[in-house]
Chain A
Amino acid sequence: MIAFAVELRLARFDLRAEARLEGGVTAIMGPSGSGKTSLLEVLAGLRRGARGRVAIGGEVVLDTERGVRLPPERRRVGYVPQDAALLPHLTALRNVRFGARGDRARVDSAIETLELAPLLERYPLSLSGGEKQRVALARALASDPRLLLLDEPLAALDVALRERILPYLLRIRDEWRVPALYVTHNVGEAVALADRVLLLRDGAVEALGAPLDLLAMPVLAEAAAAGIENLLQGRVSSHDEAGGVTRVVLDGGAEVAIPLARERLVGTPVVLAVRAEDVLVTTGAIAGLSARNVLPARVLSLERTGPDVTLRCATDGGTPPWLVRLTPAAVAALGLRPGATVSLAVKSHSVRVV
């Protein structure tokens, strides 16, 4: 449980954030430069100018009015910054042990959770980005923290790597059960890991709530749109064993088929993701197409994004517009313009459950 009400003068605005968070993982999201990292630093005790009140696990670590200001080493907070910040002159093992105060059991446990055994004698210089992050996570865990502060730990990694580290984070959440604040831009990570999302904008808490409730907020939609994924919410409606698909009814009413996912019980909410480049566009009627998902849509806009063109298309049902990535040749061949009526086709395999 952590509670804070803090103020910090920053370059462009003042951070003035206040919240009470019961255990679990809280995703901290918001536009770049909204003070997310600064907030973490204040909680860790690394920002001298911070004023206000912070209580971690019931202990008051900062109370400007009463003159209480615990230095970082007494707060028992595990901080994992974006670039891991491993101590370059120590091996991975010594990094992990650094804050452990001799607790071998804890160290071994952290090493096991993050599967670091083969890396232990290596120096940070020779580790890959993902390996460094794992060492940094183990190091934070080994110090027996009351609170974990993770600052976009997966941001510097490529998508494939992110997928591989995510399970470790899930393991930390489920097995270690240390309350955590998790700064991220990535909606998928937030949805996967967090019990709640805290939205920070211009230094102030704009919203605090369940991840999916906040997905509709413009900020997050922007974040999602800036990425390459279309996010769809819906509920599992049925499983088709013979056909090998599970059907999901989206909030807007449309139906989408995904590869069979029996473990998802009928009626449970689910978030689906489709990459913009996996969406096919057709202007004519569709017959004899293998794709199981065909949605009528209307082109809203076209935008040049690097070598490609990104289309925004509205489908029936009021979901956020779909993003579709095509080559300029394709756009020209189909004569696509704003207002054009099309159909979007997506293979069931291209639909991912987040």
Chain B
Amino acid sequence: MLAAGDVEMVLFTIQIALLGTALNLVPGTAAALFLARYRGPGKEAIETVLSLPLVLPPTAVGILLLRALARRGLLGTLLGDLGIEIVFTWKAVLLATMVMSFPLLVRSARTAFEEVDPRLVGIARTLGCGPARAFFRVTLPLAWRGILAGSVLAFSRALGEFGATVMVAGNIPGRTQTLPLAIFHYDQIGRDDRALALVGVTVVLAFVALWSAELVSRRRSGRTAA
């Protein structure tokens, strides 16, 4: 049902999505915490910038990344001097995926943090926890479900990322072609049968991702208050 190279391509897509989500986890959680707690000047500006990949068309984000990273671009020249090439390699796929899925993680995690009753954190403080310990012993345990939901969302978005990826990584079979790019590619060359087979794979992957997240989330929800 799947062509020879397609299995590798699917695995590649999953690996990139997993890696991207994992790498986004700490900065995303930190950004979410910051947005949930910080009340000073400039907050809206930061919020807006972090939300841009969510709101801009993916191709727009792709072009911006391309301009920054290409040989003559802002970062491109710097990276070139260091011998690091990103455009048209798997690193570009990873970067595009991470940029596009980051805001989804931040959004869900932020909501989760905001739902943690700040009085509980206050109580923990009076019981001897510094801000960091209070975060790990109270905030995080109460918010992890939202963070998980955000990760699943980000992972799914990463699996399906197309616009930015095709711009900055190209649709190079065997090198940077991911599942959504391959579906497009097969359709372009008239192989709808292959395209539909890959669509089936996408559905299965999305299903597995959502289902396992649901399982993990439900297993622990019996004891604590929602």
* Residues of A participating in the B interface, judged by any CB pair closer than 8 Å: 41, 44-46, 71-73, 75, 77-79, 81, 85, 87-89, 98-99, 101, 123-125, 139-140, 143
**A46 B125 Cβ-Cβ under 8 A:** yes
Q: Is B225 in the interface zone, CB < 8 Å from A?
A: yes
**A88 B126 Cβ-Cβ under 8 A:** no
B138 neighbours in A (Cβ, 8 Å): 87
Contact of B128 among A88, A101, A123 (CB under 8 A): A101
- Kindly state the separation between the CA atoms of A124 and B223 in the bound complex, as whole angstroms: 9
**B141 A89 Cβ-Cβ under 8 A:** yes
**A124 B225 Cβ-Cβ under 8 A:** yes
**B128 A85 Cβ-Cβ under 8 A:** no
Closest to A72 in B: B125
**A81 B123 Cβ-Cβ under 8 A:** yes
Contact of A139 among B120, B122, B125, B127 (CB under 8 A): B127
- Kindly state the separation between the CA atoms of A139 and B128 in the bound complex, as whole angstroms: 12
A332 shortest CB reach to chain B, Å: 49
A46 neighbours in B (Cβ, 8 Å): 122, 125-126
A-B interface contact total, Cβ < 8 Å: 64
* Residues of B participating in the A interface, judged by any CB pair closer than 8 Å: 117, 119-120, 122-131, 137-138, 141-142, 223-225
A71 neighbours in B (Cβ, 8 Å): 125, 130-131
A87 neighbours in B (Cβ, 8 Å): 120, 123-124, 138
**B125 A45 Cβ-Cβ under 8 A:** yes
Contact of B224 among A73, A88, A98 (CB under 8 A): A88
Contact of A99 among B117, B128, B130, B142 (CB under 8 A): B128
**A88 B225 Cβ-Cβ under 8 A:** yes
**B130 A79 Cβ-Cβ under 8 A:** no
A101 neighbours in B (Cβ, 8 Å): 128
Please name 15 pairs of A and B residues whose Cβ atoms are closer than 8 Å in the assembled complex, sorted by A.
Answer: A45-B125, A46-B126, A72-B126, A77-B126, A85-B123, A87-B123, A87-B124, A87-B138, A88-B120, A88-B224, A89-B224, A98-B127, A98-B137, A99-B126, A139-B127
